[in-house]
Amino acid sequence: MAESGHGSYVEPEFERDTTYIEDRITAEAGPWPVEAGRYRLVVARACPWANRAIIVRRLLGLEDAISMGICGPTHDADSWTFDLDPGGLDPVLGIPRIKDAYLARFPDYPKGITVPAVVDVPSGKVVTNDFPRMTIDLSTQWTEHHREGAPVLYPEALRAEIDEVNQRVYTEVNNGVYRCGFAGTQKAYDAAYERLFTALDWLEERLSTQRYLVGDTITEADVRLFTTLARFDAVYHGHFKCNRSKLSEMPVLWAYARDLFQTPGFGDTTDFVHIKSHYYEVHRDINPTGVVPAGPDLSGWATPHGRESLGGRPFGDGTPPGPPPASERVPTAHNPHVGEDGLVTT
């Protein structure tokens, strides 16, 4: 199974299954209305697509409105499991694996069992696993439940540009690393490698004169790029053979990534132990032994980045989120820069 089920390993070239449950939770009347306490966001910290939803939920302060279930970093051919919870059952949904919520709604569900997924708690049925739409809807449909000072991550005036940037980042970077990692021939790998680093060079140039990807504040575009960058040296450089340069050897992107990492909501949702465990233990087709590497050194994530000189205001007219709930904090043993309050310390 592809990581979080969003693809299939086919030779000679990796192809991602992009067919999702397209239902939406909306502020307007409909089958799935916005309603505090009704839905549960199911994630795995290892998964970059789920990490997006974790970050956006935290930045917007939706913890009290949408509960969160966290799967373990590994899964079998069947589904992601709640092996981190007592008895191996999600404490709210009462199920051992997210597949059960999919089958509760679609008994013959034919597609990948993926995270992130939103589940309707009263019925136990999955609502959606459309992760690109999910984070946009958290920003635009759940505004009534946003915290005071929540940032505007998808501002109307910048949506066309955000969408354009997101499309290139998704095809060439977010998915590009997978295209390298699961290439079935040298030709496919070489083409994927060239595409990936062409895009990273474009990002280096774009971010050399502006602090954030679009506008002068953090937007949805920065969230989507960050989750790939956070995994680059730990996984993609070696495991996926994306090895022209480490992130730490690309000065602009490395400074940009550290800037975001040190911003509340980003680094404090990053679990390096879960990330490495997932990729190296689950992807036995490219890492048959399942051995998880000890490195890389993570100390650099806390070093000064100097991006303040480019101006910009991380949260615009808003404010940073406070500490995450105790039950949702990344253990310091999994991210050495997370303090006892769950926030990144530098």
The pLDDT tens digits of the residues spanning 192-202 come to 999 999 999 99
18 lies in some domain: yes
Residues 196 and 278 in one domain: yes
89 lies in some domain: yes
Residues 281 and 187 in one domain: yes
What total number of domains does the chain contain? 2
The pLDDT tens digits for 168-179 are 999 999 999 999
CATH number at residue 103: 3.40.30.10
Using left for φ > 0, alpha for ψ between -120 and 50, and beta otherwise, residue 304 falls in: beta
Domain boundary residue, one of 145, 168, 198 = 145
Residues 294 and 170 in one domain: yes
Catalytic residues: 47, 178
Residues 169 and 84 in one domain: no
Average pLDDT over residues 105-109: 96
Residues of each annotated binding site: 80
**What's the domain range around 261?**
157-318
Residues 113 and 205 in one domain: no
CA distance linking residue 188 with residue 59, whole number of Å: 38
> Which pLDDT band, with edges at 50, 70 and 90, does 4 fall under?
very low
Res 11 pLDDT > 80: no
Q: How far apart are the first and last CA of the chain?
A: 37
* Between residues 110 and 40, the one the model is more confident about: 40
The pLDDT tens digits for 213-236 are 999 999 999 999 999 999 999 999
CATH number at residue 195: 1.20.1050.10
Residues 299 and 174 in one domain: yes
For the record, the structure tokens of 139 come out as 């920003």
Residue 70's DSSP bridge partners are 43
Beta strands 39-44; 67-71: pairing state? parallel
122 lies in some domain: yes
Which stretches of 130-270 are DSSP H helices?
131-140, 159-169, 176-181, 186-206, 220-231, 251-261
Residues 134 and 169 in one domain: no
Q: Would you say 50 and 115 are in contact if contact means Cβ atoms under 8 Å apart?
A: yes
The pLDDT tens digits for 312-335 are 999 999 999 999 999 999 999 999
Q: Would you say 305 and 252 are in contact if contact means Cβ atoms under 8 Å apart?
A: no
Res 3 pLDDT > 70: no
Residues of each annotated binding site for glutathione: 80
Q: Would you say 116 and 41 are in contact if contact means Cβ atoms under 8 Å apart?
A: yes
Q: Would you say 273 and 334 are in contact if contact means Cβ atoms under 8 Å apart?
A: yes
Residues 177 and 141 in one domain: no
Residue 119's DSSP bridge partners are 40, 126
> Which pLDDT band, with edges at 50, 70 and 90, does 15 fall under?
confident
CA distances to 66, 227, 230, 305 from 200, rounded to whole Å, are 34, 14, 14, 18
Average pLDDT over residues 97-104: 97
> Which pLDDT band, with edges at 50, 70 and 90, does 17 fall under?
low
> Which pLDDT band, with edges at 50, 70 and 90, does 29 fall under?
confident
Residues 163 and 125 in one domain: no
The angle, 0 to 180 degrees and rounded to 10, between the axes of the packed helices 220-231 and 272-282 is: 60
Which stretches of 183-219 are DSSP H helices?
186-206
Res 117 pLDDT > 60: yes
**Planar angle of CA 249, 179, 295, nearest 5 degrees:** 40
Residues 235 and 175 in one domain: yes
CA distance linking residue 69 with residue 55, whole number of Å: 14
pLDDT at site 250: 98
324 lies in some domain: no
Residues 32 and 115 in one domain: yes
Beta strands 117-120; 39-44: pairing state? antiparallel
Res 9 pLDDT > 90: no
Average pLDDT over residues 64-83: 94
